[in-house]
Amino acid sequence: MLSGLIDIAIFLSSFLIVLSFLVFFHELGHYSVGRFFGIAVDRFSIGFGKPIARWKAKSGTEWTIARIPLGGYVKFTGDASGASNPDAEALAAIKEKAEREGGPGVENIFHFRPVWQRALVVLAGPAANFLLAIIIFAGLGFTYGSYDTASVVGVVEAGSAAEQAGIIPGDKILTMDAEDVSTFTSLKRYVTLRSDTDINTVIERDGREIELTVSPKRVEERDFVGGKSSSGRLGVGPSPEGDVIHLEYGPLESLGFGVSRVGETLAMTGTYVGRIFQGKENGRELGSVVKIAAITGKSAVDAAKADKPFGARMQDLFLRMIQLAAAISIGLGVANLMPIPVLDGGHLVYYAYEAVAGRPLSQKKQEYGFRIGFAVLLTLFVILTINDIGYVSSFFS
């Protein structure tokens, strides 16, 4: 009984700590750029609902920690809500007061700032998430370096895509569609999102380069926390005697490593979304809060219960959580850039229209847009939650 309660505590606390940290960093991006431009901020909240703690900064911003730790927001003066949709009545009152009393009054209001400044403030949130992921990956690269194995085939599974294409043990896989896949990490990354797709492949065999066509099969497998997911699979494994490649990075090299890791993740995300629109993926690998909670919580519990000394378990727990934080941070940045009103991407669409048309979209049309955006977001949440339930249930199947 006690062990189960401890597991639940680890599960929930790890999820809430990671999510709150990422949301804080995202909102800090909005807040920092806004304050850089001298924009007034009414509230910086971590979580939603009734505050359980609050304090006021010298700048006038109220900082709060709310009861529902599943998000957060920055509310600029003149916002109707934490989604930064303008409050027409409040903005009109601010403007009228400034004109009546004279002197400064509107220059520190977000919605009266030049469109390029507003766009930078909005863009700063997702950019902060990408920057955080770069910093985490760079830190891991600098501290531990990276390990990989040359893509020399040691094992070919019977009936696999590799066997059907004519790949045999001893072959070295060099490129796929002219992309370098000379390590097993890059090979798996490329194959994962190309199931049932013909790939022009170049291998090296007995000193000669041979061209083959490979079509990875879609296979359902368990991931690193035990949940089921489907992806493309080639059906090869490294040789037990394969050379392990260990790369070490200096400060600048580790920064480049961090940038490349984020770039690779963004490229894979773009490829997956593109395949959904092409009808080549069903979108079931996408998830929302429940899946994030399942992955972070299960990872934390597994690390904490490993048969290792306490210090080693805590180190494993930290490494798992920090790597997951980087991956989720990228996902959070991408999700917020979706062109849906209410999200940062939707605001950027409005600002793009304003920049081209020379005037903002009417207040009424913006309100309609926010309502539609909220409905779309709610629909997506329902769909992704169904995906999440299927993923979590796979733990027990």
List the catalytic residues.
27
CA-wise closest residue to 190 among 175, 212, 172: 175
- For residue 286, give both structure tokens: 């996408």
Helix (H), strand (E) counts: the chain: 10, 12
Can you tell me the distance from the alpha carbon of 82 to that of 73, in angstroms, rounded to the nearest whole number?
A: 5
Which residues contact residue 202 at a Cβ distance below 8 angstroms, ignoring those fewer than 6 apart?
173, 174, 175, 176, 209, 210, 211, 212
DSSP alpha helix (H) spans, 236-362: 251-277, 289-304, 310-336, 344-357
Can you tell me the distance from the alpha carbon of 185 to that of 35, in angstroms, rounded to the nearest whole number?
A: 42
- CB neighbours of residue 259 within 10 Å: 15
Per DSSP (E only), the strands in 110-227 are 146-149, 153-156, 172-176, 179-180, 199-205, 208-214, 217-222
Can you tell me the distance from the alpha carbon of 244 to that of 251, in angstroms, rounded to the nearest whole number?
A: 23
Cα–Cα separations (whole angstroms), residue 189 to 185, 186, 234, 238:
6, 5, 11, 15
- CB neighbours of residue 53 within 10 Å: 9
| DSSP per-residue codes, 350-369 | HHHHHHHHSSPPPHHHHHHH
Q: Would you give the DSSP letter of residue 112?
A: G
First to last CA, the chain: 23
- For residue 19, give both structure tokens: 């999510």
- For residue 382, give both structure tokens: 């329902």
Which residues contact residue 394 at a Cβ distance below 8 angstroms, ignoring those fewer than 6 apart?
222, 227, 228
Query: Measured at the alpha carbon of residue 269, what is the angle toward residues 75 and 246, in degrees to the nearest 5?
Result: 110
Can you tell me the distance from the alpha carbon of 67 to that of 46, in angstroms, rounded to the nearest whole number?
A: 9
Which residues is 212 bridged to in the sheet? 201
Radius of gyration (C-alpha) of the chain in whole angstroms: 25
